[in-house]
Amino acid sequence: MSTPALTTAPQAIDPTFENVWDEIVWRGLVHVSTDQEALRALLAGDPITYYCGFDPTAPSLHLGNLVQLLLLRRLQLAGHKPLGLVGGSTGLIGDPRPTAERTLNTRETVEEWVDRLRAQVERFLSFEGEYAARMVNNLDWTAPMSAIDFLREIGKHYRVGTMLKKDAVAARLNSDAGISYTEFSYQILQGMDFLELYRQYDCVLQTGGSDQWGNLTSGTDLIHRVEGTSAHAIGTPLITNSDGTKFGKSEGNAIWLDADMCSPYRMYQFWLSTTDADVIDRLKIFTFLTRAEIEEYEKLVETEPFRRAAQKRLALEVVATVHGVDATAAVIAASEALFGQGDLNGLDAATLRTALEELPNATVPAGTSVVDALVATGLVSSLSEARRAISQGGVVLDGTRVEDDAAVVEGTLPGGVSVLRRGKKTLAGIFIG
């Protein structure tokens, strides 16, 4: 069965805004910044070069980083030139966390992660045309510099009193863990990055999360001291849910952009579960839907919330942006078929398998009774409960209602798996082994 063609929003700047600055403000992407009028004029003028840095402190970027990737792309679409920086040197240290010192990764690990993150960043930018992006690695200018040169040329421009006031540093100083000189120096390294990019590429704007504001202004202050000119910074808001919980977490695990660490199916379900209170803000930040389109979805949330049209569009747009239209189509087909709205036998085997891995599941031998499989997957707590559920017509195996408690599981779906459903919405996966 072929998956249906999907229509996604084109990546473009909304022409109803006079200036890209106005659009990113409307989308809620500016939590803090340097002079707003100067930034508005800067982004309305001739092409500028701007950058955002990503440290390889993990083998993949996550949804928090996606905010920055999409902001980089929006500014590029508006006629500016992005630099994607992957921190081969800063990744060896890591920016200070609020509560405890980071565990330092080996150089080999960081080098591997640099390559992986670089490939991820590259997927979101265009490297062709007048506003072509460039990728840079801060290890290129940090590694050749001696400690003495670093202290003389960069360190002398920093005042310890100012560094101590940075939020990340202050939080650690007030914690039981304290802060090492290594992590204390991180803000100097990030400031040096901005200075180097200003000198090499005339880069005049850095973006990052608002929790990085101290590091962002480290660069603007350094450029002002050394070069006697102004540079700018935009701090995006930290995304939280309307109930105050941390965004991008699912049962304690980050939603990674790497498909091997977080399947497209799992990412789709994450966005699909967005609350009505959050979905419009998410559409603004994470999609290229126009203001008019988002306002239409806002009306639907108010008048027909049960249809969850905004959540479905959000899930479609983001997963297609991250994983591509084909993978998204396969995920949607699997999601619908699992809940009885499509043909399970027509699904892509790999997509079906990854979907079942996100559900309660069990591995059983071929020929295992449905009764035993219900218990093994946790859909029921006992054999008697399993038999009762079957007798009441509440159990479905591979899309067919189970009539006999002697029925067995054979793994007849693509990839040699089976799907058990109890009631309308309680699902489990069966792997034959």
Class of domain 29-236: alpha beta
Beta strands in 25-124 (DSSP E): 32-33, 49-54, 81-86
What residue spans define the domains of the chain? 29-236, 240-353, 359-433
Give pLDDT, residue 253.
Answer: 67
Task: Identify which of 138, 17, 144 has the alpha carbon closest to the alpha carbon of residue 74.
Answer: 17
Q: Over the Cα atoms of the chain, what is R_g? A: 25
Nearest by Cα to 23 from 251, 223, 289, 414? 289
Comparing CA positions, the residue from 81, 87, 67, 86 lying closest to residue 126 is: 81
Torsion angle defined by CA atoms of residues 271, 262, 433 and 337, in that order, rounded to the nearest 10 degrees? 30
Q: 349 phi and psi, to 5 degrees?
A: -60, -45
Nearest to 234 by CA among 40, 409, 368: 40
**What was the pLDDT predicted at 314?**
98
Low-confidence ranges of the chain (pLDDT < 50): 1-3
> Angle at which helices 213-227 and 186-201 pack, to 10 degrees?
50
Looking at domain 359-433, what is its CATH homologous superfamily?
RNA-binding S4 domain (3.10.290.10)
Given a contact cutoff of 8 angstroms between Cβ atoms, the answer to whether 415 and 431 are in contact is no
pLDDT of residue 5: 65
pTM passes above 0.85: yes
Q: Which helix (H) or strand (E) holds 361?
A: strand 361-364
The CB density around residue 247, as the number of other CB atoms within 10 Å, is 15
Beta strands in 143-261 (DSSP E): 203-209, 232-236, 249-250, 253-254
Residue 368: CB atoms within 10 A of its CB come to 19
* Third-level CATH fold of 240-353: Tyrosyl-Transfer RNA Synthetase (1.10.240)
- CB half-sphere exposure, 19, CA atoms < 13 A: 14
Instruction: Please indicate whether the domains covering 29-236 and 359-433 agree at the CATH topology level.
Output: no
CA pair distance 362, 377, nearest whole angstrom: 5
Q: In whole angstroms, what is the distance from residue 137 CA to residue 141 CA?
A: 8
Q: What is the C-alpha to C-alpha distance for residues 29 and 52, in angstroms, rounded to an integer?
A: 14
Give the single-character DSSP code of 62. Answer: B
For 404, counting Cβ atoms within 10 Å of its Cβ (0-12 exposed, 13-18 middle, 19+ buried), the class is: exposed
What pLDDT shows up at residue 37? 97
